[in-house]
A and B are shown apart, each in its own frame.
Chain A
Amino acid sequence: MENLSTIERILAAKQSLPGALLPILHDIQDALGYIPPDAVPSIARALNLSRAEVHGVITYYHYFRQTPPGRHVVRVCRAEACQSVGCEALATHVQSALACEFHATSADGDLTLEAVYCLGHCAVGPNIQIDETTLHARMTPEKFDRLLAELRSKP
């Protein structure tokens, strides 16, 4: 199992950090795109925790996911500052454009749609984030459609 060797490598590197669980979970998600259920026993063993404790932490935090995401992750900010400039209309449009709800992946597996409560660009909303570091401000339904076509045309 390629995943398991990745997980063992991460555990070996991080397990002795004080408060190691979140750094470990981040590294696993960064490497694999999600935290596979079969990682939980290994993590629990390495940190001398119960599997329930590890599961509890993974499921508590919005950022961690337990299933593989689509090829791209689209995060739409739905917090107050973006609400004041129409993010709810944008959110409705994005859901219909992807034909999926928030916290779900489009049927073709291309895009996972997530809501986020503030990306910190509140003077130029509505804001969205594609994958981990690409940001787009002043998003409109028209701009989103262009962006989507671009994302889908890339291999």
Chain B
Amino acid sequence: MSTTFYIPCDSTALALGADAVARSIVTESAQRQLDVTIVRNGSRGLFWLEPMIEVVTPRGRIAYGPVAATDIPSLLDAGLLTGGAHALCLGPVEDIPYLKRQQRISLRRVGVTDPLSVEDYLAHGGTLGLHRALGMTEVEIVKEVTDSGLRGRGGAAFPTGIKWNTVLNASALQKYIVCNADEGDSGTFSDRMLMEGDPFQLIEGMAIAALAVGATQGYIYVRSEYPHAIAALNAAVIKATQNGWLGDSLLGTGKRFHLEVRKAAGAYVCGEETALLESLEGRRGIVRAKPPLPAISGLFGQPTVINNVITFASVPDILAQGAAAYQSFGSGRSRGTLPFQLTGNIKQGGLVEVPFGLTLRELLYDFGGGSLSGRPLRAVQVGGPLGAYMPESQFDTVLDYEAFAAVNAVLGHGGIVAFDDTVDMLKQARYAMEFCAIESCGKCTPCRIGSTRGVEVIDRLKADRPGQIELLRDLCDTLQNGSLCAMGSMTPYPVLSALNHFPEDFSRRQT
């Protein structure tokens, strides 16, 4: 009987050598005349243990990691095929505490299944949401999503049901569904993991959105830095069409929804929804003034639902299990789960999907195990390049949108970048301005000019010119209140939080 191995094809696992591990298992087991089957799954998101391989045994799937190709002979000697003991053995994968303590909803199939296997998808609850949605009216689907309390997972946390309702009520001959998969924030990869590890779920979520608002065409706008995700999505769209999950007649009901994957071209600001729409239309990714909202006048001037990958991916489960089940997770007005991404200088970096309500400290230490370098954690940037740097004194902040807003921070897309005590916060503040200068679309003056002036002020501050802190605050005020979109208006978050929480990195240059 053949023994089945799961070896991730997730691109982080590939970056750590998963392909070489797979090749080694094939050649070594051939030499030993062992019958093995290799399935390439997504990643469980325990990245410090990647490449993590799993072997199917009567005791369940037994994990080993981090495995190098050169470990395979000794692993086979130790009885890898039956889950034998070895220094790299992690035991049954579901019992690994990092995984066991999570509540996986949007990423529940990622790492479990073969991402492009229709059989796997169906065996793990795939298309249940779509089936239910096809039996409901548009208003009922929107109500279900509204009742779930789901808010946009891209960062802005706008209630998804309200957005969908606006599109539903807009009358037009053509409506669009657009997925914002331009996950440009450093410290985030949950969209990438989902697209590579369970692309059908995103497709199903978008199909449900199409049914809810009466759209017939959709686009997934994926960043060019994610070639593996693009390949997985393209393959998944073909299979989904073959199976009637997309196309002219969704599951034979005669309802139409076509989907196309579009590759972005490296402009960070295209993660902003209106810039993304401009880019999809074939222009420079320049931010549009709002109103009109994309829900009223979006892609090609038509009513458009534009949501993040994780938002769409949350929808099939909300439909399948009902709004109440999803609503039962969370804290305050932040309902459901958020896939947090623990990154940077952290010992156990990876994906942690949990309900809102844990504290930052629990994530950093209970899951993350503290810094990778072994030095004290000094600053943690949450919510991407436009998110605040949080000092140790704020580590007990509860992870929900409102609690973060209360301390002038943002949860954003759930990316958490840890820095140890070697970090120079003046340098990080300068970088934030510099990044804004490079990536600004140039439409509004505060962002276009202010970011360059910001770099200059910080350089003068570094050179001990007096009065610069006041100037910097004044400039941040202009950026925050005068910019057209989040690029300019949120760049002050990292800058001011660095200045406010780590004044010693600035003031020693001012006194």
In the assembled complex, A137 has its CB within 8 A of some CB on chain B: yes
Q: A19-B281, A124-B16, A124-B50 are in contact. Are A84 and B418 (CB under 8 A)?
A: yes
A 8-21 to B, binary, CB cutoff 8 A, 1 in contact else 0: 00000000001111
Q: Which of A48-95 contact B (CB under 8 A)?
A: 53, 56-57, 60-64, 77, 79-85
Q: A22-B262, A61-B266 are in contact. Are A122 and B345 (CB under 8 A)?
A: no
Q: Chain B: how many interface residues by the 8 Å CB criterion? A: 57
Give Cα distance in the complex from A46 to B381, angstroms: 46
Among B14, B15, B341, B423, chain A packs the most CB atoms within 10 A around the CB of B15
Q: A84-B418, A124-B47 are in contact. Are A63 and B344 (CB under 8 A)?
A: no
Interface 9-residue window, one of A104-112, A127-135, A145-153: A127-135
Residue of B whose beta carbon sits closest to that of A114: B266
The one of A21, A47, A56, A120 that contacts B189, using a Cβ cutoff of 8 Å: A120
B187 touches A122 (CB 8 A): yes
B266 touches A63 (CB 8 A): yes
The one of A25, A85, A120 that contacts B188, using a Cβ cutoff of 8 Å: A120
Give Cα distance in the complex from A136 to B15, angstroms: 4
Give Cα distance in the complex from A18 to B428, angstroms: 41
A63 touches B284 (CB 8 A): no
In the assembled complex, B366 has its CB within 8 A of some CB on chain A: no
In the assembled complex, B11 has its CB within 8 A of some CB on chain A: yes
A84 touches B283 (CB 8 A): no
Residue of B whose beta carbon sits closest to that of A118: B186
Residue of B whose beta carbon sits closest to that of A27: B263
B267 touches A123 (CB 8 A): no
B 265-279 to A, binary, CB cutoff 8 A, 1 in contact else 0: 111100000000001
B265 touches A81 (CB 8 A): no
The one of B12, B48, B224, B381 that contacts A80, using a Cβ cutoff of 8 Å: B381
Give Cα distance in the complex from A62 to B344, angstroms: 24
Residues of A within 8 A of B12 (CB): 120-121, 123-124, 135, 137
Residues of A within 8 A of B420 (CB): 84
Interface 9-residue window, one of B126-134, B225-233, B448-456, B462-470: B225-233
Residue of B whose beta carbon sits closest to that of A25: B265
Q: A80-B187, A80-B381, A84-B418 are in contact. Are A122 and B344 (CB under 8 A)?
A: yes
In the assembled complex, B307 has its CB within 8 A of some CB on chain A: no
Give Cα distance in the complex from A40 to B268, angstroms: 24
B187 touches A81 (CB 8 A): yes
In the assembled complex, B385 has its CB within 8 A of some CB on chain A: yes
Nearest-Cβ distance from residue B424 to partner chain A, whole angstroms: 10
In the assembled complex, A23 has its CB within 8 A of some CB on chain B: yes
B225 touches A122 (CB 8 A): no
Residues of B within 8 A of A56 (CB): 284
In the assembled complex, B343 has its CB within 8 A of some CB on chain A: yes
Give Cα distance in the complex from A133 to B14, angstroms: 10
B423 touches A84 (CB 8 A): yes
Residues of A within 8 A of B264 (CB): 22, 63
Residues of A within 8 A of B265 (CB): 22, 25-26, 61-64
In the assembled complex, B300 has its CB within 8 A of some CB on chain A: yes
Residues of B within 8 A of A83 (CB): 428, 431
A22 touches B187 (CB 8 A): no
Give Cα distance in the complex from A82 to B187, angstroms: 9
A117 touches B341 (CB 8 A): no
In the assembled complex, A100 has its CB within 8 A of some CB on chain B: no
In the assembled complex, B372 has its CB within 8 A of some CB on chain A: yes
Q: A122-B349, A124-B12 are in contact. Are A62 and B266 (CB under 8 A)?
A: yes
Nearest-Cβ distance from residue B17 to partner chain A, whole angstroms: 9
A123 touches B16 (CB 8 A): no
In the assembled complex, B183 has its CB within 8 A of some CB on chain A: yes
Nearest-Cβ distance from residue B266 to partner chain A, whole angstroms: 4
A22 touches B47 (CB 8 A): no
Residues of B within 8 A of A133 (CB): 227-228
Residues of B participating in the A interface, judged by any CB pair closer than 8 Å: 11-12, 14-16, 47-48, 50, 183-189, 192, 224-228, 262-268, 279-285, 300, 341-346, 349-350, 372, 381, 385, 415, 417-420, 423, 428, 431, 435, 439
Beyond A57-B284, A122-B343, 11 additional contacts (C-beta under 8 Å) are A19-B280, A19-B281, A20-B282, A53-B283, A80-B381, A85-B345, A118-B187, A118-B225, A120-B225, A121-B11, A122-B189
Identify 27 residue pairs between A and B in the complex whose beta-carbon atoms are under 8 Å apart, listed by A's number: A19-B282, A22-B264, A22-B265, A26-B265, A47-B282, A57-B284, A60-B267, A60-B284, A61-B265, A62-B265, A62-B266, A64-B265, A79-B186, A80-B186, A80-B344, A85-B344, A117-B268, A118-B184, A118-B185, A119-B225, A121-B189, A124-B12, A124-B15, A124-B16, A124-B50, A124-B349, A127-B15
Residues of A participating in the B interface, judged by any CB pair closer than 8 Å: 18-23, 25-26, 47, 53, 56-57, 60-64, 77, 79-85, 116-125, 127, 129, 132-133, 135-138
